[in-house]
Structure 1
Protein backbone atom coordinates (compact mmCIF):
# COMPACT_ATOMS: atom_id res chain seq x y z
CA UNK A 1 0.00 0.00 0.00
CA UNK A 2 2.75 2.49 0.90
CA UNK A 3 4.65 1.64 -2.29
CA UNK A 4 1.61 2.81 -4.28
CA UNK A 5 2.20 6.35 -2.94
CA UNK A 6 5.60 6.51 -4.61
CA UNK A 7 9.13 7.27 -3.49
CA UNK A 8 8.31 10.57 -1.75
CA UNK A 9 7.00 8.91 1.42
CA UNK A 10 8.72 6.44 3.75
CA UNK A 11 7.28 5.01 6.95
CA UNK A 12 10.13 4.97 9.50
CA UNK A 13 8.57 3.51 12.66
CA UNK A 14 5.50 3.31 14.85
CA UNK A 15 5.21 3.92 18.60
CA UNK A 16 2.26 2.36 20.44
CA UNK A 17 1.05 3.62 23.82
CA UNK A 18 -1.96 2.54 25.86
CA UNK A 19 -4.33 4.78 23.95
CA UNK A 20 -2.52 6.14 20.87
CA UNK A 21 -0.33 5.21 17.95
CA UNK A 22 2.40 7.57 16.75
CA UNK A 23 3.96 7.06 13.31
CA UNK A 24 7.14 8.64 12.02
CA UNK A 25 7.46 9.29 8.28
CA UNK A 26 9.93 10.87 5.91
CA UNK A 27 7.68 12.52 3.34
CA UNK A 28 7.59 15.30 0.80
CA UNK A 29 4.19 16.54 1.99
CA UNK A 30 1.59 16.30 4.73
CA UNK A 31 -0.88 14.93 2.18
CA UNK A 32 1.33 11.87 1.64
CA UNK A 33 1.56 11.31 5.40
CA UNK A 34 -2.25 11.46 5.74
CA UNK A 35 -2.90 9.25 2.73
CA UNK A 36 -1.18 6.15 4.13
CA UNK A 37 -3.44 5.71 7.20
CA UNK A 38 -6.49 6.82 5.19
CA UNK A 39 -5.96 3.93 2.79
CA UNK A 40 -5.71 1.59 5.77
CA UNK A 41 -8.93 2.93 7.32
CA UNK A 42 -7.10 4.55 10.23
CA UNK A 43 -7.37 8.13 11.53
CA UNK A 44 -4.53 10.62 11.33
CA UNK A 45 -5.80 13.26 13.72
CA UNK A 46 -2.64 15.34 13.91
CA UNK A 47 0.36 15.70 11.64
CA UNK A 48 3.34 17.68 12.90
CA UNK A 49 6.61 18.42 11.12
CA UNK A 50 9.76 17.76 13.12
CA UNK A 51 12.04 20.75 12.80
CA UNK A 52 15.13 19.21 14.42
CA UNK A 53 16.31 15.84 15.69
CA UNK A 54 17.92 15.50 19.09
CA UNK A 55 19.63 12.23 19.97
CA UNK A 56 22.87 11.03 21.57
CA UNK A 57 24.86 11.86 18.44
CA UNK A 58 23.84 15.53 18.56
CA UNK A 59 25.33 15.79 22.06
CA UNK A 60 28.72 14.85 20.61
CA UNK A 61 28.79 17.75 18.14
Structure 2
Protein backbone atom coordinates (compact mmCIF):
# COMPACT_ATOMS: atom_id res chain seq x y z
CA UNK A 1 0.00 0.00 0.00
CA UNK A 2 1.33 3.50 -0.78
CA UNK A 3 3.07 5.58 1.84
CA UNK A 4 2.66 9.36 2.04
CA UNK A 5 4.40 12.26 3.75
CA UNK A 6 2.08 15.04 4.87
CA UNK A 7 3.55 18.48 5.50
CA UNK A 8 1.61 20.63 7.96
CA UNK A 9 2.43 24.30 8.58
CA UNK A 10 1.98 24.80 12.30
CA UNK A 11 3.65 27.93 13.72
CA UNK A 12 5.48 27.21 17.00
CA UNK A 13 4.93 23.45 16.64
CA UNK A 14 8.27 22.92 18.38
CA UNK A 15 6.91 24.71 21.45
CA UNK A 16 3.92 22.40 21.91
CA UNK A 17 3.88 20.76 25.33
CA UNK A 18 3.82 17.01 25.80
CA UNK A 19 0.21 17.42 26.93
CA UNK A 20 -0.63 19.30 23.70
CA UNK A 21 1.05 16.60 21.62
CA UNK A 22 -0.80 13.89 23.51
CA UNK A 23 -4.13 15.63 22.82
CA UNK A 24 -3.34 16.03 19.12
CA UNK A 25 -2.28 12.40 18.91
CA UNK A 26 -5.45 11.20 20.65
CA UNK A 27 -7.62 13.27 18.33
CA UNK A 28 -5.80 11.80 15.33
CA UNK A 29 -6.28 8.26 16.62
CA UNK A 30 -9.99 8.90 17.27
CA UNK A 31 -10.49 10.12 13.69
CA UNK A 32 -8.51 7.19 12.28
CA UNK A 33 -10.75 4.80 14.19
CA UNK A 34 -13.78 6.39 12.50
CA UNK A 35 -12.18 6.07 9.06
CA UNK A 36 -11.33 2.39 9.44
CA UNK A 37 -8.19 0.33 8.87
CA UNK A 38 -7.35 1.43 5.33
CA UNK A 39 -5.51 4.56 6.50
CA UNK A 40 -2.74 4.27 9.09
CA UNK A 41 -0.66 6.92 10.80
CA UNK A 42 2.93 5.68 11.11
CA UNK A 43 4.72 8.57 12.85
CA UNK A 44 5.24 12.32 12.82
CA UNK A 45 8.24 14.61 13.04
CA UNK A 46 7.78 17.94 14.83
CA UNK A 47 10.04 20.86 13.85
CA UNK A 48 9.97 24.50 14.94
CA UNK A 49 7.09 25.46 12.66
CA UNK A 50 5.96 22.32 10.83
CA UNK A 51 4.86 18.77 11.45
CA UNK A 52 5.66 16.03 8.93
CA UNK A 53 3.42 12.98 9.20
CA UNK A 54 3.88 9.59 7.55
CA UNK A 55 0.76 7.66 6.55
CA UNK A 56 -0.03 4.40 4.78
CA UNK A 57 -3.16 4.73 2.68
CA UNK A 58 -4.59 3.46 -0.61
CA UNK A 59 -4.66 7.11 -1.81
CA UNK A 60 -4.50 10.64 -0.47
CA UNK A 61 -8.30 10.99 -0.27
CA UNK A 62 -8.46 9.26 3.13
CA UNK A 63 -5.56 11.36 4.41
CA UNK A 64 -7.39 14.54 3.41
CA UNK A 65 -10.58 13.24 5.05
CA UNK A 66 -8.59 12.58 8.25
CA UNK A 67 -7.26 16.14 8.16
CA UNK A 68 -10.73 17.56 7.57
CA UNK A 69 -12.37 15.61 10.38
CA UNK A 70 -9.52 16.29 12.80
CA UNK A 71 -9.17 19.93 11.73
CA UNK A 72 -5.48 19.35 10.99
CA UNK A 73 -3.77 21.68 8.49
CA UNK A 74 -2.40 20.22 5.25
CA UNK A 75 0.26 22.11 3.32
CA UNK A 76 1.12 19.25 0.98
CA UNK A 77 0.79 15.50 0.57
CA UNK A 78 3.48 13.63 -1.34
CA UNK A 79 3.54 9.94 -2.19
CA UNK A 80 6.79 8.23 -1.22
CA UNK A 81 8.25 6.58 -4.32
CA UNK A 82 11.10 4.75 -2.63
CA UNK A 83 12.97 4.71 0.67
CA UNK A 84 16.74 4.86 0.98
CA UNK A 85 18.99 4.58 4.02
CA UNK A 86 22.69 3.92 4.69
CA UNK A 87 22.33 0.28 3.59
CA UNK A 88 21.37 1.53 0.10
CA UNK A 89 25.05 2.40 -0.36
CA UNK A 90 26.12 -1.21 0.15
Give the TM-score taking structure 2 as reference length: 0.60
More helix per residue: 2
Aligned residues: 60
Secondary structure of residue in 2 paired with 1:48: strand
What stretches of structure 2 of length at least 5 have no aligned partner?
A: 1-30
Q: 1:34 aligns with which of 64, 71, 89?
A: 64
Give the TM-score taking structure 1 as reference length: 0.84
How many angstroms does 1:27 deviate by? 0.4
**Greater RCO structure (CA 8 Å; 6+ sep):** 2
Q: What's 2:42 paired with?
A: 12
Counterparts of residues 40-55 of structure 1 (less than 5 Å):
40-55=70-85
What stretches of structure 1 of length at least 5 have no aligned partner?
A: none
How many angstroms does 1:36 deviate by? 1.3
Q: What's 2:15 paired with?
A: none
RMSD: 1.3
